[in-house]
Amino acid sequence: MNGNISSMEKSSKPPLGDILVLNEDWLMERILDYAKKQGYAAYTSTLKEAWRLSISGLSASIIKALNISLEPPEITPEENIADDELCLFGIVEAQRHRERGVSLSMFLGLMKYYRQAYIDLVHNKNMNPDHHNWCELFINRVFDRIEIGFCVEWAGAGRDNKMQELQINNRLMTNEKNRYLTIFESIPNPVIIINRAQKVDSLNLAASRLFKKNVIAGSQYYCLSRDRQLELEQCIDQEEAVIDAACFGGCNLDELLPWLNDEVERFHQENRESMVFEKTIQHDDHYLIYRVKFSKNLDISGKFGETIIILEDITSLKKALDEVKTLKGFIPICAHCKNIRDDKGFWQQVERYIADRSDAEFSHGICPECVKKLYPDFEI
């Protein structure tokens, strides 16, 4: 029977390998859907690229097995499966997930749904029964080998080695967190991140200084949470309650930026991916003009429903553009002396008028025509 299936597979169009390559996006969406429904998405990557790479890695293992033989890669009791290149994906993933603190049961549970996604793809294709059964068996055997390789690698690591791996990777993750936190705090434009309830999740240093001038970098990340502040405010012994009034985490956005209420509401109601607009607000005795950018979090796992708000102060730019527009309009100029009348009715020399309204500077000389008129005896 295996020989008949092999010859059939050679003549089938398209072959299993092509089906996997052409349906990478379908497989990715399928496993992501399973992960969300079964609760695995809470512990997995939030970015699409990570899911795509996991699918491409699994598909590469199946295609590699197809290139070796069209016979399903059965498992024998004598072989050293840890040295099997078909199990390489499982071995490498075992090392990565164990270092991240993922349990064996959690990983194998998710792998069952990866397997199901591939089987679903086979069921989704219009195949004759023999071809369908062969594809399903081949995929199952490859996944069996990957999972056995994962278990062999996992079991081979001693407790001390596992602890050391966790410690090393915790340090790496802490350094990575510190790096991105520092970058976030260093962004010159105010950035505010709000959650689904439209409460402030985090904000960078530039945003914090919109509300309190003397805050320092990192204060919003390391300060007490809003909920903790409320708990402390309700303490019986008020002397023990230390409240950081500069902590904005947990605040409603309309407490901090009420002038954005309408736009935030429209952004969520229309389910937009992004939105850009300008907003003029009164601040003390002057006004400010902001270019405001809203953007959805790129998280595809559904864990985070955050909106990112970026404020860019364009007040100076707008004023400069207004000045440029003034120079482009009708300018009253004397036909004889060439002085210019400003908007207050005063006459100014042309160089003074332009210098007051631009960054231009003048140097004085004399043109050849004027030399001839004023100094006829002077030879140029």
The residues of the chain that CATH labels 3.30.450.20 are: 188-320
What pLDDT digit, counting tens, does each position of 88-107 carry?
A: 777 777 777 776 667 788 88
What pLDDT digit, counting tens, does each position of 352-375 carry?
A: 887 777 777 777 788 888 888 877
Q: CATH assignment of 2-157, given 1.10.490.10, 3.40.50.150, 1.10.1610.10, 2.60.120.330? A: 1.10.490.10
At 281, is the pLDDT very low, low, confident or very high (cuts 50, 70, 90)? confident
Cβ neighbours of 350 (radius 10 Å) = 15
The residues of the chain that CATH labels 1.10.490.10 are: 2-157
pTM of the model: 0.61
For residue 325, what pLDDT is reported? 61
List the alpha helices (DSSP H) in 39-128. 48-68, 88-99, 104-124
200 backbone dihedrals φ, ψ, rounded to 5°: -70, 120
Which has the higher per-residue pLDDT, 225 or 145? 145
Place of tokens 């029964």: 129
Nearest residue to 203 via CA among 243, 248, 246: 248
For residue 21, what pLDDT is reported? 93
Domain made up of 188-320: CATH architecture: 2-Layer Sandwich (3.30)
What pLDDT digit, counting tens, does each position of 22-40 carry?
A: 999 999 999 999 999 998 8
For residue 286, what pLDDT is reported? 80
Q: Which amino acid is at 7?
A: S
The percent of residues above 70 in pLDDT, for the chain, comes to 82
| Alpha carbon distances (Å) from 48 to 23, 52, 55 | 15, 6, 11
| Cα 251 to Cα 197: distance, rounded to the nearest angstrom | 10
| Cα 228 to Cα 211: distance, rounded to the nearest angstrom | 20
8 Å CB contact between 365 and 351: no
How far, rounded to the nearest angstrom, does the alpha carbon of residue 239 sit from its chain's CA centroid? 42
Coil, strand or helix: which one is 310?
strand
